[in-house]
Amino acid sequence: MLVNLKEILEPARTGGYAVGHFNVLTMLMARGVLEAAEELGAPVILGIEEKQLSMCPLEDFSYFVLPLAKRAKVPVAVHFDHVRTFDRAIEALKYGFTSVNYDCSEETFDENVWRVAELVHTAHAYGAAIEAQLGFVPEAADVRGGIDPATFTDPEEARIYVERTKVDALGVAVGTAHGEYLFRPNVDYDRIKAIADVTKLPLVLHGGSGLSDRDLRRAIQNGVGKINIFTDINIAGGQGVIQALGAGKNLYTDILPYVAHSIRVQAAEKIRLLRG
């Protein structure tokens, strides 16, 4: 069933587990992740981010993901990730997305507060939830030597930010990065706990792909309620293609089942882990 992000993250926060967020750019990816979630009876978040719209426009995404979410046997939130403009966020809300990450992390603190508070107000009128970003989560490819802790989210700023914006979930910068890691990520668990303690919100960990099982568990134990995973299922899909070619398949329609299977297995592995 299609639900608001808050409806699945609040129980996760109080229950001590996390919900997986997977970007799905095709019907095959969406079905692979959903089948994994249904198999495990776990809630899940299906998303897409602004920079992926060249591969799957927002409207097209809404046509296949929203119906799949509505008829799913588990709670599903449909999410638009890292949106940079108010108008783009509103477009998603009009299509029926139940969650938007409004990323103003590169703006000043005051501008970030002002912009997000305005969208939170509007999104709640649509029955949707807003996740925001405080602290910048970089691309792994840009930070080969590791991430400067000076760019991490400050707990006291987070407390003020949440109080002023009334945001529903908070993406934090705590040592992770997007994409394939070229360095060993050094996650600041004490910072996660400090932010979770003062905000009382489900925290969102971007860059969850490539983290060890232990890293993911520790992040959850310290207050993370949503973990974004894309690269791991993207790699799994690529491995499906390699397996199909290795098995002598050369037709697209013969390769697809391998891709679907590989994505489903990888998504199930991650969802199982996040459930604790």
Piece in contact with Zn ion (CB under 5 A), picked from 113-121, 186-194, 198-206, 245-253: 198-206
Residue whose CB is less far from Zn ion, 209 or 262: 209
Taking residue 4's Cβ as centre, other Cβ atoms within 10 Å add up to: 19
Catalytic choice (81, 103, 168, 232): 81
Amino acid at position 189, single letter? Y
Angle (CA) 264-265-271 rounded to 5° is 85
Count of residues that interact with Zn ion, criterion CB under 5 A:
1
What's the min distance (Å) between Cβ of 161 and Zn ion?
18
Nearer residue to Zn ion within complex by CB, 13 or 79: 79
CB of 224 to Zn ion, least distance (A): 13
> What minimum distance in Å lies between the beta carbon of 206 and Zn ion?
3
Residue 13 lies near Zn ion (rule: CB under 5 A)? no
DSSP character for 139?
Answer: B
Q: Which has the closest alpha carbon to 212: 191, 188, 185? A: 185
Q: Which of 69, 76, 10 has its CA nearest to residue 42? A: 76
Phi, psi dihedral angles at 67 (to 5 degrees): -65, -40
* 183 torsion bin: left (phi>0), alpha (psi -120 to 50), beta (else): beta
Instruction: Quote the CA–CA distance of 172 and 158 in Å, as a whole number.
Output: 9
168 in active site:
no
3-state secondary structure (DSSP) of residue 78: strand
Q: Residue 139 or 213: which CB sits closer to Zn ion?
A: 139
Rounded to whole angstroms, how far apart are CA atoms 159 and 209? Answer: 27
Residue number, 115 or 206, with CB nearest to Zn ion: 206
User: Shortest Cβ distance from residue 171 to Zn ion (Å)?
Assistant: 7
For the CB of residue 234, give the shortest distance to Zn ion in the complex, in Å: 13
Binder among 206, 226, 264, 270 for Zn ion (CB under 5 A): 206
- Minimal CB distance residue for Zn ion: 206
The residue among 72 and 233 lying less far from Zn ion, judged by its C-beta, is: 233
Active-site positions read 81
Sites of contact with Zn ion (CB under 5 A): 206
